[in-house]
Structures are given as structure tokens and as C-alpha cells.
Amino acid sequence: MSEPLITNPEFAVAPISLWRRGVNSFATLAAAAAVIAVLLPLGAVFGYLIYKGIGSINWAFLTQTPKPVGEAGGGMANAIAGSAFILLIASSIGVPIGIGAGIYLAEYGRNRLGNIVRFTADVLNGVPSIVVGIVAYAIVVLAQGHFSALAGGVALAIMMIPTIARTTEEMLLLVPNTVREAAYGLGVSRWRTTLSITLRTATSGVITGVMLAFARVAGETAPLLFTAFGNQYWNWKINQPTAALSLQIFTYAISPFDEWHRQAWAGALILIVLIVLAVSAVRIVAGRGMLKGAN
């Protein structure tokens, strides 16, 4: 990006002293060292996940529920399904509201209320997940009287909404106004233009935002601790405590049993593979261009 204009020191006004050149090289080395220092833990995390996790993933792990303490074997099938269940609830609450808020911000939000909502969404994005957990506990668990998949879903939905709203807004604003005007010119009503023309044009960008929000909450543990709570058995009821992959990893990691540690690594490997898949899918979709035919 920055092509230095004077690359040859001979053309500089004053010759660059040895000291200044030394400092320059030192700064370059230091920056490169910082990159290595940051990539090292990343490599270590992934390396250990694969090294420890891959040996523990087997058919039983993917199809069975946890065995009691002390018995070998068993798996996290119910936790994987539970995570999917909670994420489904979260998405079905969070995605429509998030996209709706995004549409409002992009199409109607050029006013004071729009600015307030935009600002609030950014504030909501920074709220610690554990605090969201407390709120979901207060509004769902206390009202129902027991922990439930619904409470976990509500907590994750609250975390999804601001991300989806802001990315949807950004993507809709990328659609040129001429496209909207063309639709109006054909006599298409405003709501129909927004849904069938603007939103349709920005579809892949909006999906990107949804996937990002999804990847962000998929590994969340803190807000599920006292909402979904965890469960050793299968559960498909919306108002019953439900296992989740991240919760199970947490419980197993802090337990004193080697067998559980092994399973925690395996669960973590599965979780990270799912998240990386989601993020890469986003990269591929985003790489193909945010907009389908508008540019």
C-alpha cells in the first residue's frame, strides 16, 4: 500500500546515519517478533486441540450420552444436539429481529431515532456475556421457575441481535440508491422494494453477518451456565434444562478425571471445527462479492 517515495538513501537530503538505520531495522525486527509472538499461541492452541482431540473422537463420542464418573466411554452426542437446539432457538428469535432492525437503520434510520438505535446496538454489543446471562435468568428462568433451553436461546439471541443489525445495515447501504429508484420507477411499493430488491441484492452480505453472529455465540458458555444449565441426558423440550457443547467442555475441563479431560479436548476440537467452518464459509461468500449484481 505505501510505496516509499525515497527508497534509495543516496537521494535523501541528508545521509541516514548508522544509528537511525539501526533503529529502523530494530523496529522492523520488533514488529516481526510481535507477529511471531501472537501466532505462537494460536498455533499452540490449534496444535494441542488436534493432537489431544483427534484421538478421542470416535463413533461412541458422537452418538452416546455421558457415562457416569469412573466409567470409560460415553460421548457428547446430547451436548452437540443440545447446542444445535439452543442455537436454533436463538437464531429463530435473533435473526428476524436483527435483520428487521438492520432494515430500519438502513432504510428509515437517517434520523435521530436511527442514531440512538445504532449507538444502543453498539453498546449492547459490548455488554459482557455473563451479564446477558443474568438478564435471561431474570426474565425467563425466574418466570418459568426452572432452567430451560428457551432461556439459553434467549440469552444467545440477545447477543446475536446487535451484530446482525449492524452488518445488515452496512450491507443494505452498499446497495446503490439507483437500484431502489429503478424499482420505485416501476411502481413497486416501498416495502416490496426493500424486501424483494434491496434485501435480495444484499443477501450474501446479510448471510455473512448472520454467520458471524452465529459463530460468535456458538462457543459462548458464560450466558448458558445458569440458563440452559446443562443436562446429562437427551432433551428436546424447550422448557427443560439442556446440555450444550461449550458447557460440557467447561464441566469436563475443570473436573479431576482424565477420561473427562480427554473428552473435553474432543468436544473442543468439534466446536472449533464447526466455528472455523462457519467463519471460512463467510470468507468465501464475502470473497465472491457482497452484492450479487449491484456493482
Partner 1 sequence: MTGPQPIVKPEVVVDPEAQTEPLLKAGNSHVADGIFHFAMLACALCVLALVGLILYELISGSRLSWHAFGLKFFFRSEWDPVNEQFGALPFVYGTLVSSFLALLLAVPLAIGVAVFITEMCPRWLKGPLAFTTELLAAIPSVIYGLWAIFVLVPVLRQYGEPFCARYLGWTGMFEGPPYGIGMLAAGIILAIMVVPIVSSITREVMTSVPQQQREAVLALGATRWEMIRTGVLRNARAGILGGIILGLGRALGETMAVTMVIGNRPEIARSLFAPGYTMASVIANEFSEATGNTYLSALIEIGLALFIVTIIVNILAQFLVWTVTRGTPARSHV
Give the integer Cα–Cα distance in Å for 10 and 92: 65
Question: Which range, of 55-63, 72-80, 84-92, 242-250, touches partner 1 by CB under 8 A?
Answer: 242-250
Determine which residue in the list 58, 63, 120, 144 makes contact with partner 1, applying CB under 8 A: 120
User: Within positions 74 to 93, which residues make up the interface with partner 1, using CB under 8 A?
Assistant: none
Pick the closer one to partner 1 by CB: 191 or 233.
Answer: 191
214 sits near partner 1 (criterion: CB under 8 A): no
> Of 158, 160, 165, 163, whose CA–CA distance to 114 is shortest?
165
Determine which residue in the list 54, 62, 69, 138 makes contact with partner 1, applying CB under 8 A: 138
18 sits near partner 1 (criterion: CB under 8 A): no
Q: What's the full length of the chain, in residues?
A: 295
Question: Which range, of 59-67, 78-86, 116-124, 231-239, touches partner 1 by CB under 8 A?
Answer: 116-124
Closest contact distance (angstroms) between CB of 72 and partner 1 is: 19
Closest contact distance (angstroms) between CB of 207 and partner 1 is: 17
45 sits near partner 1 (criterion: CB under 8 A): yes
Total residues binding partner 1 (CB under 8 A):
113
User: Within positions 152 to 211, which residues make up the interface with partner 1, using CB under 8 A?
Assistant: 158, 161-162, 165, 169-170, 173-174, 177, 186-192, 194-196
62 sits near partner 1 (criterion: CB under 8 A): no
Amino acid letter for position 30? A
Question: Which range, of 56-64, 69-77, 82-90, 128-136, touches partner 1 by CB under 8 A?
Answer: 128-136
Question: Which range, of 36-44, 54-62, 65-73, 84-92, touches partner 1 by CB under 8 A?
Answer: 36-44
Determine which residue in the list 218, 231, 242, 263 makes contact with partner 1, applying CB under 8 A: 218
Give the integer Cα–Cα distance in Å for 291 and 272: 29
Which H or E run includes 211?
Answer: helix 203-218
Residue 173 half-sphere exposure, CB side, CA atoms within 13 Å? 13
Contact 132, 198 (CB under 8 A): no
- As a three-state string, the secondary structure of 43-108 is HHHHHHHHHHHHHHCCHHHHHCCECCCCCCCECCHHHHHHHHHHHHHHHHHHHHHHHHHHHHHHHH
Amino acid letter for position 267? G
281 sits near partner 1 (criterion: CB under 8 A): no
CA distances 112 to 32, 33, 99, 102, 177, Å, are 45, 46, 20, 15, 21
Pick the closer one to partner 1 by CB: 149 or 220.
Answer: 220
Closest contact distance (angstroms) between CB of 46 and partner 1 is: 9
For the residues of 263-295, what is the DSSP string, one character each?
Answer: HHHHHHHHHHHHHHHHHHHHHHHHHT-SSSS--
Pick the closer one to partner 1 by CB: 161 or 210.
Answer: 161
68 sits near partner 1 (criterion: CB under 8 A): no
Q: What angle do CA 80, 82, 85 make, to 5 degrees?
A: 115
Contact 254, 66 (CB under 8 A): no
Pick the closer one to partner 1 by CB: 63 or 196.
Answer: 196
Closest contact distance (angstroms) between CB of 54 and partner 1 is: 15
> Of 240, 57, 77, 215, whose CA–CA distance to 152 is shortest?
240
